[in-house]
């Protein structure tokens, strides 16, 4: 899928697997289960497919279907191909891997590279809520995840992006925001707040604008760089967590409906 921001910068959002084994409760892809890993050729092909149709692409994010750190060998090979100066020559700083929190994969990346940008789907700093929404928290709980992230940060000296899917009535209370801020504070980071996208057959609610504003305000007051993201791709069921209804990788008419950026102490 292609994402284009308000300045016209284009990002290829690549899938690393068909389906996903992680079973995040808010994600349509999770309901498919794991079908198979994509090979490095299939990952790079997504980039070429988008570039042929959409023109110059400056960034890559592994945020499509699948958990990239469970297909790390192939993701790694695809990154080396995409960054090879004899080919596309993408800078490692323009590539982001997004993980649900696979600790051995984070440590492997820190030790063996490639040193790309890291995004973590955090969603809640409350262990009970996180486990309910993201079963990965049973195997690699928050207190195991944090030291791995700090180790990764030591090798990159770059900030880590935390993706927080906000779900009405579940993780948008004042207490949730304070807990999240406290958990994140030792890590140099940016938080992306993503209101949950409605998905047929799922029991969750999108939070209200007021709840999102309040949540964002609490993080900003604590000096956390916070970006409020509005949905991209809802119309084609291709927004975050919706891949799976269409199995579609690409929507060429996709434009961000709105992206609001708030910055705290950067």
Report the interface residues with ligand SF4, using CB under 6 A. 20, 22-24, 27, 29-30, 65-67, 100, 121, 241
Residue 31, C-beta contacts closer than 8 angstroms, at least 6 positions apart: 244
- When the beta carbons of 50 and 70 are compared against ligand SF4, the nearer one is 70
Nearer to ligand SF4, 18 or 88 (CB): 18
Q: How far is the CB of 140 from ligand SF4 (least distance, A)?
A: 13
Q: How far is the CB of 70 from ligand SF4 (least distance, A)?
A: 9
Q: In angstroms, what is the minimal distance from the CB of 55 to ligand SF4?
A: 27
CB 251 within 8 A of CB 233: yes
The strand ranges marked E within the chain are 2-4, 10-13, 17-19, 34-37, 59-62, 95-99, 117-121, 160-166, 189-195, 225-229, 259-262
- Four-residue CA torsion sign, 136, 141, 144, 146: positive
Non-local (6+) Cβ contacts of 165 within 8 A are: 26, 121, 123, 133, 194, 195, 196, 240, 241
Cα separations in angstroms, 32 against 53, 123, 136, 201, 265: 28, 21, 16, 13, 40
Q: Which is nearer to ligand SF4, 67 or 126 (CB)?
A: 67
Q: Which is nearer to ligand SF4, 22 or 237 (CB)?
A: 22
Q: Would you say 213 or 251 has its CB closer to ligand SF4?
A: 251
Nearer to ligand SF4, 50 or 97 (CB): 97
Q: How far is the CB of 34 from ligand SF4 (least distance, A)?
A: 9
Question: Using alpha carbons only, what angle is made at residue 262 by residues 230 and 11, rounded to the nearest 5 degrees?
Answer: 50
CB of 38 to ligand SF4, least distance (A): 13
Least distance CB 29 / ligand SF4 (angstroms): 4
Strand pairing class (59-62; 95-99): parallel
Which is nearer to ligand SF4, 28 or 228 (by Cβ)? 28
CA atoms within 13 Å, Cβ hemisphere of 245: 18
Phi, psi of 32 (to 5 degrees): -75, -25
Q: Max CA-CA distance within the chain?
A: 51
Kindly state the smallest distance separating residue 84's Cβ from ligand SF4, in Å: 27
């Amino acid at each position: 899928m292609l994402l284009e921001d308000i300045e016209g910068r284009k990002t290829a959002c690549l899938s690393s697997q068909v389906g996903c084994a992680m079973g995040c409760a808010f994600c349509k892809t999770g309901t498919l289960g794991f079908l198979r890993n994509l090979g490095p050729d299939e990952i790079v092909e997504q980039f070429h497919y988008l570039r042929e149709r959409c023109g110059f692409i400056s960034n890559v994010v592994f945020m499509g279907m699948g958990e990239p750190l469970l297909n790390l060998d192939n993701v790694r090979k695809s990154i080396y191909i995409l960054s090879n100066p004899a080919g596309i020559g993408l800078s490692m700083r323009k590539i982001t891997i997004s993980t649900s929190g696979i600790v051995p994969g984070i440590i492997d990346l820190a030790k063996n590279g490639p040193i790309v940008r890291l995004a973590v789907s955090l969603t809640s700093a409350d262990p009970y809520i996180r486990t309910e929404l993201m079963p990965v928290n049973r195997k690699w709980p928050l207190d195991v995840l944090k030291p791995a992230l700090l180790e990764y940060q030591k090798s990159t000296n770059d900030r880590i992006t935390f993706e927080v899917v906000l779900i009405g009535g579940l993780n948008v209370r004042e207490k949730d925001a304070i807990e999240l801020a406290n958990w994140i504070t030792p890590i140099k980071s940016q938080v992306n707040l993503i209101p949950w996208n409605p998905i047929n057959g799922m029991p969750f609610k999108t939070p209200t604008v007021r709840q999102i504003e309040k949540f964002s305000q609490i993080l900003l007051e604590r000096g956390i760089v916070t970006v409020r993201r509005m949905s991209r791709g809802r119309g084609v069921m291709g927004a975050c967590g919706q891949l799976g209804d269409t199995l579609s990788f690409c929507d060429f008419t996709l434009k961000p409906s709105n992206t609001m950026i708030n910055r705290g102490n950067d």
